[in-house]
């Protein structure tokens, strides 16, 4: 097997364990999309066009609250700002590639693919085909996400609303933060965001509570970072 | 929901992934910026998590006998101990179902 295929296969196997929680997440997304009355095409179309679980769920939540397009788009931008970090970290490994590679790899640069390819790149800097790792990991995520979205769309028409599955949105995002619970500063940032959003849910106009909460919490995060730097 | 909103959101999402890879020749973000960006999930996800738990259908804050609060606390404890995404989601969902279908009936 040549090096390209080997690296591609390594990307696929490395990311596979991380796909286990992606499946229920995709199903939940599909079910909720249908429960909110979106068409199957739109629910699935979002998975193809946006391809980002958090962004898609935020969009659904704001849509159900009657937010305007501008607020929805800005909120999605805020949710996605973490990808700037991923791109900045990866530019070191990918800057020599042709533009077409950058265009393709950017589409699949999601949390899970970043996590596994970042650790692979660190250990295999000299592998000339290391970007195949991200290609394999990213498109594995893509395929799994599309399949679970379709499963959710199918299930969404049979699952009764009484089960309160919309609560799983909160639970899913909670689960994505479990590794940060142990860090005291992260917990402070989480509380600021959560409290501002809860109070602002009815008081901040235009459903802008996610943006306001995120900015307040990031200001606190900046302060915490600066205080920490001074100590050193 | 409009298709145009979805497409704009798709473009925004794509651009946040593409810009840095495209623009940077090498790593130019300083450590402080990186540190702050690493807080982004902690700064945004609670804004999505909290309101559906604490605000009821009428729009007022709901603290007393709210099954979602209890279920979320249980999920946090399970998540803290197990560090498992699946265990966190399912412990929260199952305790929520227990509360609404058995306990509060």
Domain boundaries, chain A: 3-166, 177-232
Specify the range with the lowest mean pLDDT, choosing from A143-152, A206-215, B71-80.
Answer: A206-215
Same domain, B58 and B84: yes
**Using one digit for the tens of pLDDT, what is the confidence trace for A4-32?**
999 999 999 988 888 877 888 899 899 98
Helices and strands per DSSP (H, E), number in chain B: 5, 0
**Using one digit for the tens of pLDDT, what is the confidence trace for A118-127?**
889 888 888 8
Give the count of Cβ contacts less than 8 A between chain A and B.
277
Cβ of B21 within 8 Å of Cβ of A95? The answer is yes
The beta-carbon neighbor of B75 closest among A86, A174, A217 is A174
> Does pLDDT of B24 surpass 90?
no
Mean predicted confidence (pLDDT) in B69-95: 92
Same domain, B86 and B43: yes
Instruction: Please give the backbone phi and psi of residue A86, each rounded to the nearest 5 degrees, phi first.
Output: -60, -45
Q: What is the ipTM of this complex?
A: 0.86
Chain-wide mean pLDDT for chain B?
87
When pLDDT is cut at 50, 70 and 90, the band that residue A1 belongs to is low
What is the reported pTM? 0.81
By residue count, chain A amounts to 232
Q: What domain count does chain B have?
A: 2
Same domain, B52 and B80: yes
Query: Does B94 contact A at CB distance below 8 Å?
Result: no
Percent of chain A with pLDDT over 90: 41
Residue B87: give the domain boundaries: 39-103
Give the C-alpha distances (Å, rounded to integers) separating A60 from A33, A162, B5: 7, 19, 11
Same domain, B66 and B85: yes
CA pair distance A70, B8, nearest whole angstrom? 10
Tokens linked to B54: 């604490």
B92 in any annotated domain = yes
Contact (CB, 8 A) for A77 and B12: yes
pLDDT number for residue B28: 64
The beta-carbon neighbor of B36 closest among A92, A179, A222 is A222
Query: Interhelix angle for A209-231 vs B40-54, to 10°?
Result: 140
Query: Which comes out higher in pLDDT, residue A33 or A64?
Result: A33
For chain A positions 24-83, those within 8 Å of chain B (CB to CB) are 24, 38, 42, 45-46, 49-52, 54-55, 57-59, 61, 63, 69, 72-73, 76-83
Same domain, B72 and B23: no
The beta-carbon neighbor of A193 closest among B21, B47, B60 is B47
Same domain, B46 and B88: yes
- Give the DSSP per-residue string, B20-66: HHHH-SS--S-HHHHHHHTTHHHHHHHHHHHHHHHB-TTSSB--TT-
Secondary-structure breakdown of chain A: helix, strand, coil percentages, each rounded to the nearest 5: 80, 0, 20
CA pair distance A196, A67, nearest whole angstrom? 18
> Does pLDDT of B27 surpass 60?
no
pLDDT number for residue A108: 93
Same domain, B58 and B23: no
B57 in any annotated domain = yes
Q: Torsion angle of alpha carbons A202, B13, B92, A22, nearest 10°?
A: 160
Same domain, B15 and B56: no
CA pair distance A74, A209, nearest whole angstrom? 11
Same domain, B17 and B60: no
Mean predicted confidence (pLDDT) in B62-86: 91
């Amino acid at each position: 097997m040549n090096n390209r295929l080997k690296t591609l296969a390594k990307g696929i196997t490395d990311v596979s364990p991380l796909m286990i929680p992606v499946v229920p997440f995709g199903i939940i997304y599909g079910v909720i999309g249908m429960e909110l009355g979106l068409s199957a095409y739109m629910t699935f179309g979002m998975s193809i066009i946006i391809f980002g679980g958090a962004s898609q769920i935020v969009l659904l939540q704001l849509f159900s609250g009657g937010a305007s397009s501008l607020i929805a788009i800005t909120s999605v931008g805020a949710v996605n700002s973490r990808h700037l970090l991923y791109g900045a970290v990866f530019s070191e490994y990918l800057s020599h590639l042709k533009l077409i590679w950058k265009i393709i790899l950017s589409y699949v640069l999601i949390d899970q693919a970043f996590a596994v390819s970042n650790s692979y790149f660190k250990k295999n800097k000299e592998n000339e085909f290391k970007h195949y790792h991200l290609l394999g990991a990213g498109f594995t995520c893509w395929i799994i996400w599309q399949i679970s979205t379709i499963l959710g769309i199918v299930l969404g028409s049979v699952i009764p609303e009484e089960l309160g599955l919309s609560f799983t949105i909160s639970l899913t995002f909670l689960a994505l933060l479990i590794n940060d619970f142990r860090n005291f500063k992260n917990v402070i940032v989480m509380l600021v965001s959560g409290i501002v959003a809860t109070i602002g849910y009815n008081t901040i106009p235009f459903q802008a509570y996610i943006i306001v909460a995120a900015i307040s919490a990031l200001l606190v995060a900046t302060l915490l970072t600066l205080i920490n730097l001074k100590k050193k | 929901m409009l298709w145009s909103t979805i497409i704009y959101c798709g473009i925004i999402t794509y651009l946040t992934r593409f810009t840095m890879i495209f623009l940077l020749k090498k790593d130019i973000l300083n450590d402080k910026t990186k540190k702050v960006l690493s807080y982004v999930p902690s700064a945004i996800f609670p804004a999505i998590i909290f309101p559906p738990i604490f605000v009821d259908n009428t729009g007022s804050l709901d603290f007393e006998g709210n099954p979602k609060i209890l279920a979320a606390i249980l999920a946090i404890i399970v998540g803290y101990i197990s560090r498992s995404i699946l265990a966190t989601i399912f412990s929260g969902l199952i305790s929520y179902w227990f509360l609404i279908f058995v306990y509060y009936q």
